[in-house]
């Protein structure tokens, strides 16, 4: 498979994961938690990196794409551990939200619905969205590395 085709597949994977996340949020009524949002940014970066990589030669940009995929896989792994209680998550969205400022919750512009990072909102085959993102992103990282090797 050509370098360009591998990059296009990796980009399509990141785009599909982002579109899926937005569909769950806007069509499925499942608002994202803080860690869910963190998992989206590297996919957006991968799309920009991929567009640039398609216009250039060399291995640097595909390796940067692989790094973006590994970053979101890492956040997905961390989020999975938070959901399963293997370790604590951010205080602002885990364990009852102890890290939230109680004074800000009383103000008129306070968030009305804090989505907790340690609660699984949806799962399939025993894996949460964070787990699925991790697995898919690891596969995307392989595509990026394959593209870099073809440079």
Nearest to 74 by CA among 49, 38, 45: 38
Q: How far is CA 43 from CA 58, 62, 75, 84, 103, in A?
A: 21, 13, 12, 24, 35
Three-class SS of residue 38? helix
Residue 25 belongs to a domain = yes
Residue 141 belongs to a domain = yes
Residue 70 belongs to a domain = yes
Domain that holds residue 83: 3-94+117-149
CATH number of the domain enclosing 14: 1.20.1550
Q: How many domains does the chain have?
A: 1
Residue 95 pLDDT grade (very low, low, confident, very high; cuts 50, 70, 90): confident
Q: Which residues contact 94 (CB under 8 A, 6 or more apart)?
A: 82, 88, 116, 117, 118
Residue 100 has pLDDT above 80, yes or no: no
Residue 110 belongs to a domain = no
pTM, 2 dp: 0.86
Q: What is the pLDDT of residues 102-130, one digit of tens each?
A: 554 455 554 556 789 999 999 999 999 99
Residue 58 has pLDDT above 80, yes or no: yes
């Amino acid at each position: 498979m050509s370098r360009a085709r591998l990059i296009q597949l990796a980009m399509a994977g990141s785009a599909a994961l982002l579109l899926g996340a937005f569909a769950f949020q806007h069509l499925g009524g499942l608002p994202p938690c803080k860690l869910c949002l963190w998992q989206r940014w590297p996919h957006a970066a991968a799309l920009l990196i991929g567009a640039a990589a398609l216009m250039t030669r060399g291995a640097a940009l595909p390796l940067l794409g692989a790094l973006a995929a590994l970053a979101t896989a890492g956040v997905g792994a961390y989020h999975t551990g938070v959901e399963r209680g293997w370790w604590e998550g951010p205080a602002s969205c885990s364990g009852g939200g102890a890290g939230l400022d109680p004074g800000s919750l009383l103000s008129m512009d306070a968030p009305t619905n804090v989505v907790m990072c340690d609660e699984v909102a949806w799962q399939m085959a025993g894996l949460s969205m964070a787990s699925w993102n991790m697995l898919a992103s690891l596969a995307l990282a392989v595509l990026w590395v394959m593209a870099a090797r073809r440079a």
